[in-house]
Amino acid sequence: MNHLTENKDEILWQIAKERVGFKWSLVSYIIVNLFLTAIWFYASRDLGHFWPIWPILGWGIGLAFQYAKAYHGNQINSVESEYQKLKNQQ
């Protein structure tokens, strides 16, 4: 196996790890925020303020960045795609 193939395997392995990490983060996000919403519903909904919105939004922004990195980040910074663009310009 040559060096280029090994390097691509390492890149694919890293992408796979990022995607699995995102999926676990998404599951955690859903479970925790459902729990917080249940606490609000049973304990403090009479106060009128839906306070779980703050962790939902804050964590959701972070999760959106993690999604972008896991599924689109490697395409944005791909050296190979930039090389192909430069090669096609000549």
Average pLDDT over residues 1-13: 71
pLDDT for residue 67: 95
pTM, rounded to two decimals: 0.73
Which contacts (CB < 8 Å, 24+ apart) does range 25-34 have?
25/63, 25/66, 26/63, 29/59, 29/60, 29/63, 32/59, 33/59
45 vs 57, which has greater pLDDT?
57
Domain coordinates of the chain in residue numbers? 3-89
pLDDT band at 74 (very low <50, low <70, confident <90, very high): low
> Mean pLDDT throughout 9-24?
91
